Each structure stands twice: as structure tokens, then as C-alpha cells.
Chains A and B, each alone.
Chain A
């Protein structure tokens, strides 16, 4: 097996098997696309699934966690199970009032700088290692996939809302993103990376059963559209 990147998506091999075109991202590579950009953007409007697990993440908890973030210029979502958008386009999720989960945007700048600043534990703030898999389910029919794997009524979920629920038997955090960076309605799913291959397999199965497809990150992040370094 060839030496892999420092940072590796848990579904990397599944993406290779689908014929991903790759682009460097942070300390790893992201699956950029599988088909033409036009087709994938069209698919993202209808029904598509995308892996963005390599985006850097961070977790922290403790009674001073919110203040710690505020002191570093992060807009902290006030209500439980709500989100705010980070300066680099990522998300800050309020999981419980004293626990936050952050995922950076493409540049990874916010999480990287916070990571440097955040020790394991200090003054009521505790670092929580977050290596979650991250999938984006997008398109007008994204709800059809969720209907087969989750008992929640997503019709009542507002944009920016977060739920912690079970998806195909796996605990997940789901953000109703409203629209992705490219303007498609979408949901963002995070799960423990040890379940990632299993959950990805189920989501791919259901998505393709419904005539959707897997797309690369370029479909959701226009700034990636220029990058391609060839086959993996």
C-alpha cells in the first residue's frame, strides 16, 4: 500500500473505488469530482452525496468553553442545537450548552488556529478530539434519502438547526444547512469515523437507488473547481 497522507478520510478507499479525482486540502486530499462539474452540480440540485471528512474539526467542552471561543472572535451559537458560521465558511455547532463542535471551511484556518491555542485542558475548557466523518447530502430530494434511514421529520427542521439522532443505527449530528456553498439545499451529517464506511455504504446505496449519485467537493465549493491533480 502506498504511503498515505497525514490526514485521511475514513471512506478514502471507497472514493478511490468510485474513481475520484483528487485535490490537495490541508494535510490530505479531498475527492474533487467523479464526473464533469456540470453534471455534478446538476446532481447536487437534485440528489447527491459528498464526502468532506478531511475538513479539520475541533471539539471543546466545559463551563468556560463559550467564553473561550468568544475571546477568539468566534461567533458562538447561543441556543442548544444551533449553529453559527465561521469566518472561513465552516460551522460552529452548539451541542449542549457547554460543548461545541467546530468544522472549518476549506481553508481550515479557524480550526487550525484554535487548535494551536487550545491545550488539552485549561481553566474550565477541555479539548475533545473530533475526527468525525462528514458527509453532505444535497438536492431537492435529499429528504427522500433521510426518510429511509432516519425516523425524524426533517420537514420541520429549519435552516441552521441541528439534531442529534440515529441514522441507519448510527449516532449522527445532522445540520440542516439550508443551502450549500453552491446554493443547493442540503444536510450535513457527522458521525464517529469508525462507523463511516458502514454509513457511507448505506447512504450511497439509498442515494443511488433513488437515482442520485456521489459527487466531489467541487460541486459544493466553487473555489475547488480550479484544482485537480489527477487520479489518485
Chain B
């Protein structure tokens, strides 16, 4: 790629230029150092430096360049060199010092792209070829897949990329006006004058829209100045520039995206003044660098002060084309000819001025073919000829024009995506040869070119009317709206700007490299509806999402089917309007984490953390020189021999008050609580209505009408919701209060637990006064506490519950007092080991979504002769059925050597699965491995062997035993 660094296509300063000539900027493109100005985009800066080839097309790797200069095409896409950004659009990427980018979709370099050879095999790659090839022979599919993966897609992801924390925010407004062009400005002012709070957004860095690059003469300038002054004057108009409305969702929820953040906006009403996309003409080689939309050429001239061509041909079918030809002349471009697709257009001021200036005008003509320069890196001439309404050219009357550029202005299609997403529909207005809004939700309004209104006075009136309509909807205007504005004049769009050329590619979709023949072939294969055609050809599925392709595709299909545009229909538009960086969608992530008040203490003490739902809990405490298993076993042994303390603040904790508190517990749990004595606690087991275990814990009766209930840590919130649901359904006289996060709980366990506690509390903790399953309300270290005798780990144990703000203080006091008794903290893993030795199950560890109390060996927890509890009926039915499994203990041979099973490893009887391991501990305080497992009831006999399959398929033997491996007489915990 030859870059002539000496060429400077800059024009003298233009009134609306965006560049700052006092701030030159140096950047790199494809390894070449170039200079532009602050305010230049990559596309404009490259073009100003004479760079024509800026990208390679998706399939054929043909050279591509500026086409819309508005981000409506995907010809110029780049990625940072060694950076974190990819798939950046050149039309919108502002150059800045240090910018260093490469074109995407090249192999080697843009200039020497190895994949450009692909076009030579174009005949073997007709539309949909990948549906018909690459699946046989099957043995080659891995190779095909690798090839396709490498060839497909755009851009590269940097695996070492740094995650960005972009902000996302919510916002609200009365009226959102999308588009700050002539109609949008009028809509905003029109509504604001009625007292509406307006948010006006535009994706450009400056308001004005086409005022800035097209409507720049005569009255237009005055109108723009007045409107901008009105905008500034109204305190109730907020303007956000450089902001796109990326998508419109239910209830007028609009995603606004700028370079910093995503705003989730809720508007009460919306005016869509989103304008139109200028449309391409289809002719042979219409994708060459140097061929662009007329509006692109005008943007280059007026916004970036760049002379687009030296010698140009203008192809048009409306007044905009004549305006652009005059603009080109004004910028020093020699306009070789203007070709008007229309055979007999009414002369206008602009066309007359053009003709009077001496420019050659050919009516009823189009470009048949553009001839490329060497390597297809530019255009050197065009062949023009008369064209009929079917797109057939009469080459006998052809004229050749030497040129280095073509400006195309053959029509417009509304930027309808957001309106469709909002629930609006469009119809084809044949008088405009354009889609126009047909129906809109009540709070949505459209204004300007999207309504098929093109003349400036009409656009302004249409915008003002839309603003007033929105104000009326919001209850702030009740005056006359005036008649709707209609376009009276020739259509601005040509009904069929397509020329048939059997030999060369005439591109319809630049993104997907689809040309006219592809559509003919697809139609011949039977894809004759717009939805099928879209999916088979992939038209409109590229980065620009059909902004420049869909309308022509519809026109072509209508012609092939012999139907009208209205009968052919369009496809569904979905967000996003323009690409949105994943960083914006991800944004700052909210992943709540819960910590107990003792967290910092655990951290300082070497806790290794684990996630238990939202909570962070100590898994174990790291000791230098010991591995994980050694640390866990050490903690467990200390509990067995001395005393340990564990932070159990994560347990669910619920107060149940009221005259029917006991009755409530009787209903939601399987056990009996009506006669539970004050100062005693009982185990609770809850089932759902199918009889499946969902929760367990303890219920402490603090007073006649007051229970304090615990739940599992992970089930606390859900079970509290269940309790509330039952309260509402039953209407019982109870009051519930969830104090899970308001209370700290700590469990002191071990033979010396009593000694540690005795000096700290006013409660008599002697064995006689405070027996197993007792509960007292008193103080510990002067902190008001609920103290319970529990036995989860099989040792003498006290569980102390105190207000959270005093939890750390108390924990420290107990650790201090326990120092001489050998107190150590113990974590989750040690607790799991200790309770496993005791044979105590953990809900959701040793139970699953089908486990009933019978299977879990918990039928003892079902109260007899209860009139009702949740799950009762199901359990009554199940009791009469044969049981398929039961939870039991397993031990392994003494001196076992080898790999032990893991949790969930299956138990087999021959080829049949008959159970699984639920919990296992390879190292225990008992000196041998143990497990809990589901086995068949008939196998639940002490000494019965079972076979467990390991990951590698080998089988090992275990022996059924009573699940209470440790202290089966409960002498230590009681």
C-alpha cells in the first residue's frame, strides 16, 4: 500500500469544521506514521493523507475505503496494536497521540493481505456455499472447522486485556429527543417551550445534524443559529452529544451509550428524529475505494476540510445529489458529469445552477461499471449508460468518464431501528419511494426525514409539531397542533437504483461481500421471502446491520418475485443501533458479598476463604509448614482434645413471636413444639409439600410465645420467605423477624468449652444447670447473649448469639480467655469433618432434591400424631411405598492404600447404579477414612460390602457401618 505522505488534501478552513488546526496529532496506521488534527477521525485523517485503502472486505478481501463517513458502513475497522480494543470504526474513532492501529481481517498486512487471493476462487464460493460444502467427508471436518474459524470473524481479542470498570447509570426524563438535526432541534425546543423537561441526544460531537454538512446555505444558517440559541436558552433542555441511543426496550427504556458509560434511561415520551441513511447504488465494482455516498463526500468537505476527489462523477436521483455536486465544485473538485437515474426530473434551483455552471448532466443514466486502478485500490474511470426501470443498461450509448471518485446520492431509508424496537411499524410510501412510520406507540413520535420529509421548512415544522404532540401527551400542551407535514415534491429515493451486470460483481451488502448475482441465485434456490433470503444470504447480518443493504435487498427481492415493496416486507430490527463495547455492557459488576463482623480477625489469623452462597467463610486457617489437609485435621483434633471456636454467624436466625408461635412451628416443621419447655431447644426439620427435606436447624424456646429458630446458611433467605408466605396464607397470630445479619454467632466446642465460658458469663454453665439442648439468655463478657447447648460436632458445645456490632469484641474476649485452655479457631472443613464423624447430615450435601426424611434416616424427627405439617400427606403416601435408598455410613479397610472415592462417586451392583457417596473424609481424628452414602435399603446392614467406582473406572470396596462413627453413645456432647 503506497502512502503518499506528501499529499495533503486539506482545504482551507471550513465554517463547520470539527478539526483544530492548532493541535496536530501524530498516529500510526499499519505501521506508518501519519499526522492529522485533533478532531479528525481515523478515516478523515487517513483520507487527508491520501490513504485510500483503509480495509479489506470480509469474504473477498477487496480493498475498501470511506463509504458513508458516518459509521453506517463497516469498511474501516481497526484494532489497537498490542492493545485492548478491537473492531473500532474508523469513521468515529478520534485520533489521539499514541494511536497505533491495524486494519482487521487481514493476513500479513493490509497492503499484502495473503487472503486477497480468495477472490480468485469467488466462483467456488457462491452464496450459501458453506451450507453445501465442508460437511463431507466427516473426517475432514476438523480441518474445515479450523479454516472457517480462522477466516470468519473480525478482530482479535487480547487475552491479556485489562478489564475496564465502566460506569452504568440510571436516568429519567420526561421527553427524550433522539437526533439533534433540524427536526430534532425543533422538537426539543417545541416541547421545552411548553414546560417539558427534555433530554436531547445525538451521536455526533456537535448538534445540528445535516445543518453542519449539507444544509449550509441561505436561510439554513439562520435557522440553525436560532435553534441552537433557543436550545441554550431553555434551562429545561439537557443536551448529550457523542451519545447514541443504542436500543429501545419495553416501556420506553432506552440505552444511551457514549464513550464513557451506558445510561439506562426511562423516558415518559420519545421523539425519534433519527433521520435517514443515504443509500448506495448497485453497479459493477461499486465498492472500490473512491466510490462513496454523496453525504460522505460532503462530510469530508465541511466537517474535516478535505477535498474528496480531484475529478468526480456524481450519480443521483434527487436534489441532494445536485447539492453535493455543487459542494464538490466549491471544494475544487472537477465534476466530470452528473448522472441522474431519473429520465425526466423537474428542474430545481440546484439542478439549474449546476447545469448553468457547465457541468455535464445526463438524465436517465447510471453507472454501468466502475473500472479499478491497479490492485483495485481506487477507481480510474466509469462507464455510464442509459438504464431502464429493470436495471438493464444500453451499452450502445455508453460514455466513459475518467475520474478518481464517485459520489452516489440515489436515495434514503429511514433510521427506523429504534422506532421498530419501540413497537412502531412502517409502511412503504410509493410517493416517496421510502418507508415511513405507519403506527406508533402512544408515547412515541417521529419527526423529520424519517417521516419522508426532506425540505428544510418541512423538517422544521414537522419537528415543532412532534415536540408539541409529545407535550400534549405529557399533559403540558392543549393547543392546536396543526396539520401533519407531508412531503410534496418528487421522491427523494429511486425505486430501483440497481444496474445489472452479468460479468462483474455489483455489491449489495458491502459488509458481507454480497453482490447482485448472489440474490438471484438465492431466489432461484427458493429463498423467496425476505426472512429466508436474509438468513440464507446473510444480508444485513454484518457489522452495519443492513443500514446500507437492507432496502436494496428488499427492492431486488420484490423485483425477482414480481411483487411490491409492501408485499415483500422487511426484517426485524433489534438492538444495538451501532456496536456497543462489551466493556460498557459488562460495566461495573455488582456481586454482593457478605462478611461476618469477624472477617478481619479471620484474615489476620490466616484464614483461607471459601464462598458459601454470598458469604465468605474460613475454610481453614493456614499454618506454616502444614498442608491443607494437615491444617484441617489439626483443627479437628484440637476440638476433640481441647476446645475450638467457629464463626457460625452465617446461620439463618429468625424470631417467631405470638400466641400461635408454637402452632406455626408445628406446621412448618415435622417435629413437635407445642409442649417444648421454655429454655429448651429442639432439632427442626422442614420439608416441602412433596415431602422432600429443604431445611434443618434448631428451635430455642425463649418464652411461652417466643421461639428463636436457626436455619442453614445458604437456605436462610429462601426459608424466611417461605415462613412469610405461610404466615400470609394461614393468617396466624405470629410475628416474624429475620435477624440473620443482625446477630453474630460463635460455637465453642470441645471438652474444655465449659471452662472457657465459665469465667466470662453470668450464666451457670455447669452440667446440671445447663444441660444438653438447654438455652439461656444472659451476658457473656457483659454482652447480652443467647447461649445454647448444641452438639453438631459431637463435643460439649455452646453456641452464643450476640448483636453483630459486639461480635468481634466478644470473639476476642473468648479467644483471650481460652488461650490457656488451648483454644484455636476452626473452619468449615474441620466442622464438616467433625460432624461427619458424628454422622450428622448436612442438608444439600447429604440430601438432594428428592431426599425424604425416611431416606435420610431422620424419621425420628417426624412427630407422631400431628394434625398437619407441610409435606405430611406426601410422606404418608411415601411411607407405604418401598424405599429405594437410605443414607448410611461407610468405612474402608484398615490400612487402606490407594485412591479414595470423592463425593458423588457412584455405588454399583454389577452394571447397575445403586447409590452414591454424599460425604467423605480421607483423614479423620478416628485414624481411618469414613463416608456417608446412599445405598439400597437391603444393603444397609453393618458389614455389608459395597463397590464404588472411581474416576478412572476402577472399583474399590467399602463396608456399611453405623453412621455414628464417633462417640455413638453421645457421652461427649451431652
Contact = CB atoms under 8 A, between A and B. Distances in A.
Interface of A: 1, 3-10, 12-13, 28, 53-54, 59, 61-62, 120-121, 126, 128-132, 144, 147-153, 155, 168-170, 192-199, 202, 205-206, 209
B114 interface: no
Contacts of B705: 121
A148 B806 contact: no
A150 B167 contact: no
Contacts of A128: 655, 737, 739, 742
A128 B594 CA distance: 21
A119 B172 CA distance: 45
Given A10-B804, A131-B742, A153-B266, A205 B812 contact: no
A148 B588 CA distance: 9
A148 B169 contact: yes
B575 interface: no
A120 B809 contact: no
A121 B708 CA distance: 12
Interface stretch (B419-427, B440-448, B597-605): B597-605
A129 B706 CA distance: 15
Contacts of B604: 1
A5 B809 contact: yes
A134 to B, nearest CB: 11
Interface of B: 165, 167-172, 264, 266, 588, 590-597, 599-601, 604, 615, 649, 655, 657, 702-703, 705-706, 735, 737, 739-743, 777, 782-783, 803-809, 812-813, 816
What 4 A-B pairs are tightest by C-beta distance, nearest first? A192-B741, A131-B804, A194-B741, A194-B594
A128 B657 CA distance: 11
Nearest to A192: B741
A59 B703 CA distance: 19
Contacts of B742: 128-132, 192-193
B834 to A, nearest CB: 25
A153 B596 contact: no
B590 A61 contact: no
A126 B592 contact: no
Nearest to A57: B805
Contact of A197 (B169, B599, B702): B599
Nearest to A168: B590
B788 to A, nearest CB: 15
A4 B812 contact: yes
A170 B805 contact: no
Given A147-B171, A194-B595, A6 B806 contact: yes
A54 B649 CA distance: 20
B171 A197 contact: no
A129 to B, nearest CB: 4
10 contacts: A8-B809, A10-B595, A12-B600, A54-B805, A129-B742, A131-B741, A149-B590, A193-B804, A195-B592, A195-B594
Contact of B592 (A6, A121, A170): A170
A153 B197 CA distance: 15
Contacts of A155: 172
A53 to B, nearest CB: 8
B601 A195 contact: no
Contacts of A54: 805
A206 B165 CA distance: 10
B809 A4 contact: yes
Q: Which of B600, B702, B703, B783 has the most chain A CB atoms inside 10 A of its CB?
A: B600
A147 B777 CA distance: 44
Contacts of B743: 129, 131
A51 to B, nearest CB: 13
Given A129-B743, A130-B742, A8 B591 contact: no
A62 B588 CA distance: 40
Contacts of B167: 148, 206, 209
A169 B600 contact: no
A152 B702 CA distance: 41
A198 B593 contact: yes
Contact of A7 (B172, B594, B805, B816): B805
Given A192-B741, A205-B588, A197 B808 contact: no
Given A120-B703, A147-B171, A198-B592, A193 B805 contact: yes
A42 B647 CA distance: 42
A116 B804 CA distance: 18
Given A126-B737, A192-B740, A193-B804, 18 more contacts: A1-B600, A3-B812, A4-B809, A6-B782, A8-B807, A10-B595, A53-B805, A61-B737, A62-B735, A121-B703, A129-B743, A129-B803, A144-B169, A170-B592, A193-B597, A197-B593, A197-B599, A202-B590
- Residue among A6, A7, A61, A209 with the highest chain B CB neighbour number at 10 A: A6
A151 B782 CA distance: 43
A24 to B, nearest CB: 15
Contact of B741 (A9, A61, A195): A195
A127 B503 CA distance: 87
Contacts of B806: 6-8
Contacts of B657: 62, 121, 126
A147 B703 contact: no
A132 B803 CA distance: 10
A205 B165 CA distance: 10
B618 to A, nearest CB: 15
B168, B702, B803, B816, most chain A CB atoms within 10 A: B803
Interface centre among A8, A54, A62, A209 (most CB of B within 10 A): A8
Contact of B597 (A6, A10, A149): A10
B534 to A, nearest CB: 35
Contact of B655 (A3, A8, A126): A126
A197 B591 contact: no
A121 B808 contact: no
A119 to B, nearest CB: 9
A168 B172 contact: no
A32 B904 CA distance: 54
A54 B777 CA distance: 24
A148 B167 CA distance: 7
B62 to A, nearest CB: 44
Contacts of B170: 147-148, 150-153
A6 B807 CA distance: 8
Contacts of B813: 3
Given A129-B739, A131-B803, A194-B741, A169 B590 contact: yes
B384 to A, nearest CB: 57
A153 B265 CA distance: 10
Nearest to B739: A129
Contacts of B739: 128-129
A194 B807 CA distance: 12
Q: Which of B165, B169, B592, B705 has the most CB of A within 10 A?
A: B592
A53 B805 CA distance: 9
Nearest to A56: B805
Nearest to B810: A6
A3 B165 CA distance: 37
Contacts of B782: 6
A216 B588 CA distance: 26
Contacts of A144: 169
A131 B735 contact: no
A121 to B, nearest CB: 5
Contacts of B809: 3-8
Given A10-B597, A147-B171, A1 B812 contact: yes
Nearest to A148: B169
Given A151-B264, A153-B266, A1 B805 contact: no
A123 to B, nearest CB: 11
A92 to B, nearest CB: 18
A121 B591 contact: no
A198 B266 CA distance: 28
A6 B783 contact: yes
A126 to B, nearest CB: 5
Contacts of B706: 120-121
B169 A147 contact: yes
Contacts of B171: 147
Contacts of A130: 742
A198 B594 contact: yes
